[in-house]
Amino acid sequence: MKAMVLDRVVDLKTTDKPLRLAELPEPEVQEGEVLLRVKACGVCHTELDEIEGRTPPGRFPVVPGHQVVGEVAARGRRAKRFREGDRLGVGWIFSACGKCRFCLSGQENLCSEFKATGRDADGGYAEYMKVREDFAYPIPDAFSDSEAAPLLCAGAIGLRSLRLSGIKDGQNLGLTGFGASAHLVLMTVRYRFPRASVFVFARSEAEREFAMELGADWAGDTGEESPEKLHAIIDTTPVWKPVVDALSNLERGGRLVINAIRKEDIDKEYLTRIDYPAQLWMEKEIKSVANVTRQDISEFLEIAAEIPIRPEVQEYPLVEANTALLELKQRKIRGAKVLELG
């Protein structure tokens, strides 16, 4: 099978081809697993974190990709939930132990044995991948393969961020950065909290215009002051400056939710510039989002089909994965980027 493979951690300033096209054997399914013929796979900033070493894979080579849509091509012994031909999705959570206190309390995202698709196990930048059937999800018929792919991570992590923000209908929500996850959060808020006001902060004028097209109440640069104080802000950027800037726009008792697996260090000095009385005092909170649970993914797929959400996607063939990744690095974004293998 054809696959795009990461052989080592690389600096994207020195190469425009971090992944190589390889011919690999098809995965062999074990007990309880299904083999998926991949139809589409979303491209996520977390892949950049893997490539550049902020959250490096535990082994090389590895096949990245954790927003995977495919059809069941084969089943291992005792894999009975799905039939061949069923369309399934796979997200960032590849497996968890199922026995620790976090797993037993519904917080499997915090399990110390959490394994991530495309980092700790081969993912969807390939023609085939395998996964345990209890970590795969039926894809609603409402979505094409490419539309469904970003729902599995960008959408699910966005839903988790929204929950953690504690936002209520009628309050003000800020979104810092406006890529794949944030544009799905905005669509979700417009449905679930119709009286909420959404304020978007983005460096790119194109992203700000896109946010207004999707129904944002206001859009400005990341360093701008919002017209009103915000009860909650969700940060989806890869850097620190927008986090520090966001604190100034937060209402007293408000919460800033950082939706990122890792942050880049290029502007870490901004953390030393936090003005405690002006930006963090008055019981403001900062909360991180760690991974996703299976419930997050299943629930978001249901919500997205009910609304229905239609993600904005840019499609690329598998062999152009490097192009999609570099455009993501350069913030050439409108919605979500998806590798199309169908």
Q: What is the pLDDT of residues 87-102, one digit of tens each?
A: 999 999 999 999 999 9
Phi and psi at residue 7, in whole multiples of 5°? -95, -25
Model confidence at 273, pLDDT cuts 50, 70, 90, reads confident
> Exposure of 181 by Cβ count < 10 A (0-12 exposed, 13-18 middle, 19+ buried)?
buried
> Exposure of 283 by Cβ count < 10 A (0-12 exposed, 13-18 middle, 19+ buried)?
exposed
Please check the confidence at residue 45 and state whether its pLDDT lies above 90: yes
Instruction: Judge contact between 256 and 243, C-beta under 8 A.
Output: yes
Which helix (H) or strand (E) segment holds residue 172: the answer is: strand 172-176
Instruction: Judge contact between 84 and 39, C-beta under 8 A.
Output: no
Please check the confidence at residue 269 and state whether its pLDDT lies above 90: no
Cβ neighbour number for residue 320 with a 10 Å cutoff: 14
Model confidence at 316, pLDDT cuts 50, 70, 90, reads very high
The tokens describing 249, both together, are 């726009």
Nearest of 32, 132, 145, 128 to residue 87 by alpha carbon: 145
Strand pairing class (172-176; 87-90): unpaired
pLDDT of residue 323: 98
User: What pLDDT digit, counting tens, does each position of 105-161 carry?
Assistant: 999 999 999 999 999 999 999 999 999 999 999 999 999 999 999 999 999 999 999
Domain residues of the chain, as ranges?
2-153+292-340, 156-288
DSSP code of 126? B
Whether the predicted model's global pTM rises above the 0.85 cut: yes
Distance of alpha carbon 314 from its chain centroid, rounded?
A: 16
User: What pLDDT digit, counting tens, does each position of 200-255 carry?
Assistant: 999 999 999 999 999 999 999 999 999 999 999 999 999 999 999 999 999 999 99
- What distance in Å separates the CA atoms of residue 118 and residue 68, rounded to the nearest whole number? 10
> Exposure of 287 by Cβ count < 10 A (0-12 exposed, 13-18 middle, 19+ buried)?
middle
Model confidence at 342, pLDDT cuts 50, 70, 90, reads confident
The Cα angle at residue 245 between residues 240 and 246, in degrees rounded to 5? 95
pLDDT of residue 266: 85
Model confidence at 167, pLDDT cuts 50, 70, 90, reads very high
pLDDT of residue 99: 97
The tokens describing 188, both together, are 């979700």
Cβ neighbour number for residue 80 with a 10 Å cutoff: 9
pLDDT of residue 4: 98
pLDDT of residue 267: 86
Nearest of 71, 209, 53, 48 to residue 128 by alpha carbon: 71
CATH number of 156-288: 3.40.50.720, 3.30.470.10, 2.30.140.10, 3.40.50.1240? Answer: 3.40.50.720
pLDDT of residue 192: 94
Domain topology for 2-153+292-340: Quinone Oxidoreductase; Chain A, domain 1 (3.90.180)
Please check the confidence at residue 317 and state whether its pLDDT lies above 90: yes
- Which residue type occupies 17? K
pLDDT of residue 261: 87
- What distance in Å separates the CA atoms of residue 39 and residue 342, rounded to the nearest whole number? 4
The Cα angle at residue 111 between residues 106 and 112, in degrees rounded to 5? 170
Burial annotation 211-221 (CB, 10 A radius, 16+ → b, else e)? beebebbbbbe
pLDDT of residue 41: 98
pLDDT of residue 268: 84
User: What pLDDT digit, counting tens, does each position of 294-307 carry?
Assistant: 999 999 999 999 99
